[in-house]
Structure 1
Amino acid sequence: MPGHDPKAPVYPAVHAQTRPDHPALVMSDGPRTTYRELERSSRRLARLLRELGAARGDTLAIVLENRLEWATAMWAGMRTGLYVAPLNRHLTATELGYVLGDCAPAAIVTSRRCAPAVEEAVAIAGLRTSILVAEELDARLRAVDGAPLADERLGARMLYSSGTTGRPKGIRQPLRDLHPADAPPRLGPLVERMGIDEQAVFLSPAPNYHAAPFTFLLIVQMLGGTVVSLPRFDAEDLLRVVEEQRVTHLQVVPTMLRRLLRLPEEVRARHDLSSLRVVVTSGAPCARELEAEALAWLGPIVHEYYGASEGYGQTHVSPQEALERPGTVGRALKGEIHVTDADGVELPPGEVGRIWFAGTDPVRYHGDEEKSRRARNDRGWTTIGDLGHVDEDGFLFLAGRESHTIISGGVNVYPAEVEEVLEAHPAVADVAVIGVPDDDLGEAVRAVVQLCDGAVESPELADELVAWCRERLAGFKRPRGVDVVASLPRTPTGKLLKDEVRRPYWERAGV
């Protein structure tokens, strides 16, 4: 390609020439596609999208289960100058209708299972758009000219927030006027720290519509490696796939890591995990006890990074750093970290405040200029409302989301700190710490827990959990009560839907 650095990441058209039979995407239940096949299918789909009227700057929406067509659709958009919007396939037709109305896609790639909801959502949104069904795509593409496109331009991602505090917001990343072969490295410093290259076999067990799985699908295939995808997460099956596919890189969220660690030791020992070079966790803070258990089991290969769909900044913590500074999410890889109080005054190390990143691109929420404005201050720093502190050496420690801070008796309580303590109790499988209405304190700290298999709900256990916190936390942070639920609402990537947990308590109080 003219002007292309041969050492830089490229895209399937180049890998199809240099390693055509190398697997680009492997489904753990059997189907797979090579770079030759991916190049052929994505090029033809790009031409089909052009024939259907999609032009540079338009949006391609993907509403799919984890399956091979993800890569075809993603690369068709990324080589045609489109915004590629991976959408949550579990949304109801009404919810999906809002998102489709917001991004107004020129085309949608979906599946037979998802098509009825997509068709209803399109009608709700009042759109006229082309709906392409994955199971019918091969036959349709055979009739499309397979010649290379002469005017390929790099596309961009349009990611949607999970909508945990309202309707999902679209986050459009800059559309660059480049050929796809000249794309700049994505997450370059993080990819370098994790050693992802053309030899990588990267297992992504989460749904591809979430930011991290989607982004790593893109990154690994830019580099010419292999992505292995699970149709759905199952802890023991994941270990089988690591052994069977000789996986080198595994990405999990803390919820998945906890479920892996809670498998019986004889089940974990049954599988050969020696191919693993890196296990990386993200998506939610990893409790220090959980990280310590993972390092003891897997060895010094567990990495963690912190960032957001908005791309506002990024940190990374190596296995050694995690051992030396339990609880940190690392130092900045992208941007410069600042922590301020509510008035914007910068705080010294050790004090909790709002996290900002300097030196990064502005965050822009599609169709919401007010939210975009609030995400940036007059110094050009960017925030998404997360709270935390840095130590003297610049390592970041998270305290939670600003909107989830509990103000109890005029004192701030950060739920993440209390949750980490409760997660370490052997009877607790999952936990959400929330503020509930209280006549005296305004808000009282309350823990909502899901118990491990074998643990039995009882007043004695609730007292034991409160006592557990009493030994480890200051008095104002301790839960004043514990409620047990069958399960806590989480997204498939492990993000806790805390507003859903809080809502019944506040509704009962008439708030």
Structure 2
Amino acid sequence: MRYGLRDWAQRDPERRALEFEDGTSVTFGELEARANRLEQLFRNRGLARGDHVAGILSNGPDVIAAAWAAARTGLYYTPVAHTFSLPEIAHVVNDSTAALVLADGRFADRLAELPARCKAARHWLTTRTRGTAPHEMEDLEAALATMPDAPPEDESPGMLMMYSSGTTGAPRGIWRPLPSAEQIGEGPPAFARDLIEIFGVDPETRYLSPAPLYHAAPLRWTLAVIAGGGMALIMDKFDAERALDHLQRREITMSQWVPTMFRRMLALPEQRRAAFRAPRHHLALHAAAPCPVDLKRRMIDWWGPILTEYYAGSESVGLTVLDSAEWLAHPGSVGRAVKGRIRILGEDWSELPPRQVGKVYFSDSSKFEYFNDPEKTRSRLSPQGWQTFGEIGWVDEDGWLYLSDRQDDTIISGGVNIYPQELEQAIEEMAQVAECAVVAMPDEDFGERPAAFVVPVPGLRTSDEELAAQVAAHCKERLGRTKQPHRIRVVGELPRSEVGKLLRRRLREQLAAESLEAAQA
């Protein structure tokens, strides 16, 4: 079987590779030509093997074409969330050492100051779908029009470099060495190989992607579907009613979700849910956040036993999978390992027996590094050389993994990772704030949302309500919209242990008690 955009473009150039909600589509031939021109552009602008490209792009064909172009010219491609604030975007562009930046013209007003903040980036190119491009950015369409649609002669395999975050709070790139130049064209690209082989992607696949393509899973899955010769329907943004319509009317065979999306669809009127029919839809994948047992049972009751859950991460150190039948036999599990071997480690780094809770590590898988951050890399490495996503959990006697907590207090809100220390650092920039702690609060719709506990500086003559409003306004300017604190509480002090360690669990317990009181009121 052939694998890769070019293979399918040569075999069936008029076959649709991408479809969009506005009715437009892109064929394999068109996507291949676009990727080739981007390859030529990267070479024309002096990018060499091992250089980095960043893309601040919306859910359109350029995200996919740019990723393919980088994967065939020995470059690292990093998608950047356009929902980030300007300082957050600048951090990723600078930290990734991006030599070239692609930006969507619809974000032109927000990005106007970006080149001045990112001096190392040598080339800035933007589409002009809306408004006027910043004067320091070159028009992408004009630049591509001068490039041939044949690939350059010196192709070599590149990689995605996605960004994650952790103990420091600042996003960090997940880096692996490039494959050898001789491996170009040998089987599926690295970003697609596991997904094609494990989940059976083929030319009959019609995949629905309801999430932003700057996230690792939607991007990798879309690229894998194209590599396998399938078609991907890309939603502008998730909407429960439209998602069901797509499943029915566009004969989708495979889809991917996070639990928040399940909640939104289950919240639709009973009549709408009862009328839903999608006979070709045989695989509904979900991941990114814990799925409550009751919620998953309701989805299986509605859609049938087509749900498959997987546990993975941008670091790709391991992968577990379980289908509906397996989950019904092991409710709450996230599956058994199909990539890597699960290792549960105690505080002394010894391997624990079944049903004992410890840190979840994986052995027998490829190693990663956090880009230019050896300290953070070491924080995810055991003395045995095994690596972790930072989760806490246990396995039963048959190897089924159950997650019980997160090692680094990460908040997962609607499938998006939010890191408390990043929010705390932003809030503590304010002169009115002495210190701050951010924890997860339960949320029926998103699963979790951040709540901020703020301690004012001594002698501040501002009411609690006024300070909370000032913190909210600061966060709106400083942080992306997905990271806004859902609740801001002004307190006299934060709970700490005898040695001064912040006791986040007491804050979470306080929020849980308040939620219970509100429910009983």
Coarse TM-score class (shorter-chain normalised): 0.7 to 0.9
Q: 1:214 aligned to 2:192? A: no
CA separation of 1:345/1:500 partners in 2, compared to 1, >3 Å: closer, same or farther? farther
The residue type equivalent to 1:234 in the other structure is D
TM-score (norm. length: structure 1): 0.78
Q: 1:142 aligns with which of 136, 142, 145?
A: 145
Superposed CA deviations along residues 121-151 of structure 1, whole A, max 9, x for unmatched, are 3311323421221345444322212233222
Does the alignment pair 1:121 with 2:114? yes
Indicate how the Cα distance of structure 1 residues 50 and 141 shifts in structure 2: closer, same or farther if over 3 A, else same: same
Q: Any idea what the Cα deviations from partners look like across 1:315-339, whole Å, max 9, x if unmatched?
A: 0011110110000000001111011
1:182 aligns with 2:182: no
Superposition RMSD in Å: 3.1
Q: Per-residue deviation at 1:347?
A: 1.4
Of 68, 71, 75, 1:75 maps to: 68
> Aligned with 2:161: secondary structure?
strand
Aligned partners of 1:357 and 1:382 also within 8 Å: yes
The reply on whether 1:509 has 2:494 as its aligned counterpart is yes
| Residue correspondence of structure 1 range 216-235 to structure 2 within 5 A | 216-235=221-240
Q: Given the alignment of the two structures, is residue 170 of structure 1 paired with residue 173 of structure 2, yes or no? A: yes
Matched, 1:10 2:3: yes
Q: Does 1:310 align with 2:315?
A: yes
Q: Are the equivalent residues in 2 in contact too, given 1:29–1:230 (CA < 8 A)? A: no
Aligned to 2:325: 320
CA pair 215-188 structure 1, distance change in 2 beyond 3 A: same
Question: What displacement does 1:247 show?
Answer: 0.8
Q: Cα gap change, 1:193/1:78 in structure 2, threshold over 3 Å: closer, same or farther?
A: closer
Q: 1:229 to 1:309 in 2, by over 3 A?
A: same
The C-alpha deviation readout for 1:7-27, integer Å capped at 9, x for no partner, is: 3x5222111111111111111
Q: Distance in 2 between matches of 1:218 and 1:194?
A: 14
1:288 aligns with 2:288: no
Letter in 1 for 2:86: A
- Show the counterpart of 2:23: 30
Match of 1:98 in 2: 91
The residue number in structure 1 matching 2:253 is 248
Equivalent residues of 2:4, 2:188 under 8 A apart? no
Q: Is the Cα contact below 8 Å between 2:54 and 2:78 reproduced in 1?
A: yes
Q: Name the CA distance, whole Å, in 1 between partners of 2:165 and 2:232.
A: 24
C-alpha spacing 1:238/1:369, structure 2 compared with 1 (3 Å)? same
Classify 1:38/1:78 alpha carbon distance in 2 versus 1 (closer, same or farther; 3 Å).
same
For 1:76 and 1:21, locate their aligned partners in 2 and report how far apart those are by CA, in whole Å.
20
Residues 24-65 of structure 1: CA distance to partner in whole angstroms, max 9, x if unpaired?
Answer: 111122221100001111101110111111111111111111
Contact 1:80/1:153 (<8 A) preserved: yes
Q: Which residue of 2 aligns with 1:394?
A: 399
Indicate yes or no: 2:40 matched with 1:47. yes
Q: How many angstroms apart in 2 are the aligned matches of 1:507 and 1:27?
A: 51
In the alignment, the residues of structure 2 paired with residue 447 and residue 167 of structure 1 have an alpha-carbon distance, to the nearest angstrom, of: 18
Which residue matches 1:161? 164
In the alignment, the residues of structure 1 paired with residue 337 and residue 376 of structure 2 have an alpha-carbon distance, to the nearest angstrom, of 24
Query: Residues 31 and 23 of structure 1: is their aligned pair in 2 closer, same or farther, counting only changes over 3 Å?
Result: same
How far apart, CA to CA, are the structure 2 residues paired with 1:174 and 1:364? 9
Q: State the Cα distance separating 1:292 from its structure 2 match.
A: 1.1
Question: Alpha carbons of 1:244 and 1:204: their partners in 2 closer, same or farther (altered >3 Å)?
Answer: same
Relative to structure 1, the CA distance from residue 288 to residue 229 in structure 2 (aligned partners, 3 Å threshold; closer, same or farther) is same
AA matched with 1:290 = L
Check 1:228–1:180 CA distance in 2 against 1; reply closer, same or farther (3 A cut). Answer: farther
User: What is the Cα deviation at residue 307 of structure 1?
Assistant: 0.7
Tell me if 1:65 matches 2:58: yes
User: Are residues 1:344 and 2:349 paired?
Assistant: yes
Distance change in 2, residues 1:115/1:447 (3 Å): closer
Question: Percent identity, aligned pairs only?
Answer: 36
> Shift of residue 507 of structure 1?
7.6
What's the CA shift string for 1:452-489, capped at 9, x where partnerless? Answer: 7xxxxxxxxxxxxxxxxxxxxxxxxxxxxxxxxxxxx9
Where 2:185 maps in the other structure, the secondary structure is helix
Say whether 1:404 aligns with 2:371: no
In structure 2, relative to structure 1, the CA distance for the partners of 1:289 and 1:383 (3 Å cut) is same
SS at match of 1:343: coil
Contact 2:17 2:28 in 1 (8 A): yes
Are the aligned partners of 1:46 and 1:76 in contact in 2 as well (CA < 8 Å)? yes
Does the 8 A contact of 1:53 with 1:106 survive in 2? Answer: no
Shift of 1:220: 0.9
- Quote the Cα distance in structure 1 between the aligned partners of 2:308 and 2:493: 42
Find the aligned partners of 1:292 and 1:102 in 2 and give their Cα distance: 42
How far is the alpha carbon of 1:360 from its aligned partner? 1.3
SS in 2 for 1:90: coil
Q: Offset of 1:236 from its aligned partner?
A: 0.6
Please list the CA deviations of residues 346-367 of structure 1 after superposition, one character each: whole Å capped at 9, or x if unmatched.
2111111100101112220011
TM-score by length of 2: 0.76
Deviation of 1:243 (Å): 1.8
Whether the 8 Å contact between 1:11 and 1:180 is mirrored in structure 2 is no
What is the distance in 1 between the residues matched to 2:235 and 2:56?
A: 16
Instruction: Please state how far the C-alpha of 1:403 moved relative to its aligned partner.
Output: 2.6
| The 10-residue stretch of structure 1 (330-339 or 69-78) with the greater mean CA deviation from structure 2 | 69-78
Asked if 1:362 corresponds to 2:367, the answer is yes
- Greater mean deviation of Cα atoms: 144-153 or 295-304: 144-153
Per the alignment, residue 154 of structure 2 pairs with 151
Q: Where in structure 2 are there 5+ consecutive unaligned residues?
A: 129-138, 421-438, 446-474, 476-480, 496-501, 503-521
Where do 1:443-458 residues align within 5 Å? 448-450=441-443
Aligned counterparts, 1:370-381, within 5 A: 370-381=375-386
| Uncovered stretches (5+) of structure 1, i.e. residues with no partner | 1-6, 406-414, 424-431, 435-445, 453-488, 490-494
Query: Partner amino acid for 1:363?
Result: F
Supply the AA of the counterpart residue of 1:346.
E
d(CA) in 2 for partners of 1:99, 1:189: 27
Contact 1:203 1:251 in 2 (8 A): yes
CA contact (8 A) 2:390 2:406 kept: yes
| Count, aligned residues | 432
Aligned to 2:208: 203
Cα distance in 2 for partners of 1:118, 1:57 equals 26
In structure 2, C-alpha distance between the alignment counterparts of 1:505 and 1:328, rounded to whole Å: 38
SS of the aligned residue for 2:383 comes to: coil
Q: From the superposition, tell whether residues 128 and 332 of structure 1 become closer, same or farther in structure 2 (CA, over 3 Å).
A: closer
Please give the alpha-carbon distance, in whole angstroms, between the structure 2 residues aligned to 1:108 and 1:95: 15
Matched residues in 2 for 1:52 and 1:187: separation? 28
